[in-house]
Amino acid sequence: MGIVNLARVDERLIHGQVMVTLSQKNGVNSIFVVDDVVAKDKFMRELYKNAGSRTGQKTIVITEEKAKFYWDEYEFKDYNCILIAKTVKTIYDLVVHGVPMKELNIGGIAQKDPEKDIFATKSVYLNKEDAERLKDLHENYGVEDIYFQATPSAPRTELKDILAKFDL
């Protein structure tokens, strides 16, 4: 059975030194990029596979539905992966579906709606719906460690500090 060693939300998906550093995490042997748009675009899919291969890890680019299927049928085989998605909702849907993960890093989310998105950290804007999803993952789905950190050397902000901004 495979393991999600680290889940990460970052709109940039695989990029630079961040992924090189994270991919060296103990036990990691693969990177799963879960994004419907990228997975369905041959050029983009190959671009991300090549970027991921620079980390020395096997890189798999799949849709959310394929990730759910791959978990249901194979439990991610023997892949101990970093699972990356662009949105909190994608991670939430995977966990609710049954993909277990203990650690979730929120790395980078741009502002989309100035009326709803608040400045959570230097690299993350968050809306209340996503904050509630993160709270639910932590309280009801076993995601023990949820934190905000753009790069491994950046300061880490804990989930409870972000939830307080939403009075959650």
pLDDT digits (tens, 9 = 90+) for 6-62: 999 999 998 877 788 888 888 899 999 999 999 999 999 999 998 888 888 899 999
Start-to-end C-alpha separation, the chain: 35
Domains of the chain: 3-165 (3.40.35.10)
Q: What is the pTM of this model?
A: 0.96
Question: What is the reported pLDDT for 39?
Answer: 98
Amino acid 20: pLDDT = 82
Is residue 31 within 8 A of residue 80, CB to CB? The reply is no
* Residue 115 CB coordination number (10 Å): 5
How far, in Å, CA of 139 to CA of 155, rounded?
24
**Mind listing the pLDDT tens digit for each residue in 127-149?**
999 999 999 999 999 999 999 99
Give CA–CA dist 114/127, Å, rounded. 10
* Predicted pLDDT of residue 27: 87
Give residues with Cβ within 8 angstroms of 167, minimum separation 6. Answer: none
Q: Which ranges of 98-144 does DSSP label H, i.e. alpha helix? A: 128-140
Which of the pair, 68 or 22, is modelled with greater confidence? Answer: 68
